[in-house]
Chains A and B, each alone.
Chain A
Amino acid sequence: MNASVLLRRTTLRAARPVPVSRTIVGSQFSRLASTLALFEQRDGKLQSSAQNVVTAAKQLGNPVIGFVAGKSAKEVAEQAAKIEGVDKVVYVANEAYEKGMPESYAPLVVENTDDVTHIVSMHSAFGKNVMPRLAALLDTQQISDIISVESPDTFVRPIYAGNAIATVQSTDAKKVITIRGTAFSNAPSGSGAAEVIEGKDSKHAGNVEWVGEDLTLSDRPDLDTASKVVSGGRGLKDKENFEKIMMPLADAMGAAIGASRAAVDSGFADNSLQVGQTGKVVAPELYLSVGISGAIQHLAGMKDSKVIAAINKDPDAPIFQVADVGLVADLFKAVPELTEKLKK
């Protein structure tokens, strides 16, 4: 990438007023300006998070250009083109970007950001890994994990594990943003018909090699997007109980399984199931917590759920302060009873 070109363009943009209204799409001011939405793919399949990213990207006011890279990026781009609100999808079909390694992926995105004012992705493992590197290459201060768009330069994001909400205004010419998926609805997919075009690729090489992965596969709904989540904590005492009690409950409800940090640290459940400040943030229709006290770090990951229910034997557990419905009971009796009654 030519640094001087980038610098010149950045300086020019800084002097130009940023369009503030959301309704001027297509006007002379934003004829070229656009928002680049990074979509995640796995094995040639578009990840559903793309729909949340599009919703957020649309709120920024400019045309939305989707971006995908990987081995079967063209096929993924065609899936993405069907999302409503996407104006164009740029793809780079190159196996080198298949695993989203930031060392090569970040410069690739930079190469495709001509006339782009905003770059948006999910605040997921991928987004957290790639976006800050990308922001540094563009010399811009990223805005992480936003929960709403106030205007094209002003955003709202939680800080201190969601105990405070900050409204921040960016003075950077290019804005790099990660979004909290649960705060933005799914843009409908099916009727969109965006143009699919091939992006630029200077064949960036990374200095880190992908060796392998170890993923937990399950038939249950995905924790990030499930409409119901049942979550277990330290109160389950061991892994055997966790499986014996939580799995049938989840199946009876058609829910995804989550866990508190205490449960994960004690080895009851896989790390990727952790809900909280340092794990996943979920906001399902129903969050049922079982044997979880409700530490602030855990609440940070679930307090935006529509309905929170809690089963805990300690009537003073902090979880009851946020639960819409609480049951003070021994989970070893109450949960199997609940599971049986839900099956009927």
Chain B
Amino acid sequence: MSTLRILVPVKRVIDYAVKPRVNKAQTAVETAGVKHSMNPFDELSVEESVRLREKHTAKTVEDILALSIGPPKAADTLRTAMAMGCDRSIHIEMAEKDEMLEPLQVAKILKEVVEKENRNLVILGKQSIDDDASQTGQMLAGLLGWGQAYGASEVTLEGDQLKVRREVDGGTEVVKGKLPMVVTTDLRLNEPRYASLPNIMKAKKKKLEKKKLEDFQFRAENRLKTLKVTEPPPRQGGGKVENVDGLISKLKELGAL
């Protein structure tokens, strides 16, 4: 068995149940006073890392390092990750007003962390539900020259190999790669646990290292300029019909049948 040193990057995003509103200036989505939580796909990454340790001996998973890049409140997200079972975390703090980093920049920072912290497995969410880019994990794998498994629904450690079932169009496929590797999680991978109160208390004692963007080599410079952000064109509900016959005739009238 290989010894795993896992990195789990997590992102603080607007809660998935909140309907985001575009700000008046049409420059971004309103975030002030809006409920935030851990990106749902990242909860799956944390859970999977903890399960890998539970499935194997404690020795197999040497440690699980959580990392977040974001405003001061991203520290809460890291506490949640540690309450779920991560051992320690790094918070790369940004100012509240700073523009969100793009996936390529995040991938470059993660590469530095991977090298400095001697990681051999990175588990990320397959997308963040704010930017919906679905890029960071694959970019990181490309920069590191590691194997990647995008959209994992099942992860099995076999010696120094990782076998991953991936969600693809039309079904699933299975790929196998030697560590080190980058895995991104699909929704079907697991059911994340709730952090229990004792674990939340314990997480407060775990190490949370603060860093700044300046501590890294990369140059913070967004390649994409956001020209504007608008509301999607609204859709008008067309009203209701009384019965199945009404439904059929309305659909015929609309030319849909």
**Could you tell me if A172 and B244 are in contact, using CB atoms closer than 8 angstroms?**
no
The answer, yes or no, to whether A98 is at the interface (CB within 8 Å) is: no
Contact partner, B142, options A134, A154, A296, A309, Cβ 8 Å? A134
The answer, yes or no, to whether A1 is at the interface (CB within 8 Å) is: no
**Could you tell me if A208 and B169 are in contact, using CB atoms closer than 8 angstroms?**
no
Point out the residues of chain A lying under 8 angstroms from B143, CB to CB. 136
Point out the residues of chain A lying under 8 angstroms from B255, CB to CB. 307
**Could you tell me if A167 and B226 are in contact, using CB atoms closer than 8 angstroms?**
yes
**Could you tell me if B142 and A133 are in contact, using CB atoms closer than 8 angstroms?**
yes
The answer, yes or no, to whether A129 is at the interface (CB within 8 Å) is: yes
Cα separation A180 to B143 with both chains bound (whole Å): 26
Q: Is the interface of B mostly helix, strand, loop or mixed?
A: mixed
The answer, yes or no, to whether B225 is at the interface (CB within 8 Å) is: yes
List residues 158-172 of chain B with CB under 8 A from any CB of chain A: 163, 166-172
- Could you say which interface size class chain A belongs to? 35 or more
List residues 176-205 of chain A with CB under 8 A from any CB of chain B: none
The answer, yes or no, to whether A58 is at the interface (CB within 8 Å) is: no
**Could you tell me if A207 and B256 are in contact, using CB atoms closer than 8 angstroms?**
no
The answer, yes or no, to whether B232 is at the interface (CB within 8 Å) is: yes
The answer, yes or no, to whether A272 is at the interface (CB within 8 Å) is: yes
The answer, yes or no, to whether B127 is at the interface (CB within 8 Å) is: yes
**Could you tell me if B251 and A286 are in contact, using CB atoms closer than 8 angstroms?**
yes
List residues 286-332 of chain A with CB under 8 A from any CB of chain B: 286, 296-297, 303, 306-309, 311, 315, 320-329
Contacts A128-B150, A277-B129 hold; do A167 and B228 have CB atoms under 8 A apart?
yes
**Could you tell me if B224 and A169 are in contact, using CB atoms closer than 8 angstroms?**
yes
Point out the residues of chain A lying under 8 angstroms from B142, CB to CB. 102, 106, 132-137
Contacts A136-B139, A325-B241, A329-B243 hold; do A160 and B149 have CB atoms under 8 A apart?
no
**Could you tell me if B254 and A136 are in contact, using CB atoms closer than 8 angstroms?**
no
The contact sample of 9 A-B pairs, CB cut-off 8 A, is A125-B168, A129-B150, A133-B142, A136-B104, A166-B226, A171-B225, A320-B237, A327-B244, A341-B245
Mark B residues whose CB is within 8 Å of A.
14, 16, 19-20, 22, 29, 102-104, 107, 126-127, 129-143, 146-151, 153, 163, 166-178, 181, 186-188, 222-232, 235, 237-241, 243-248, 250-251, 254-257
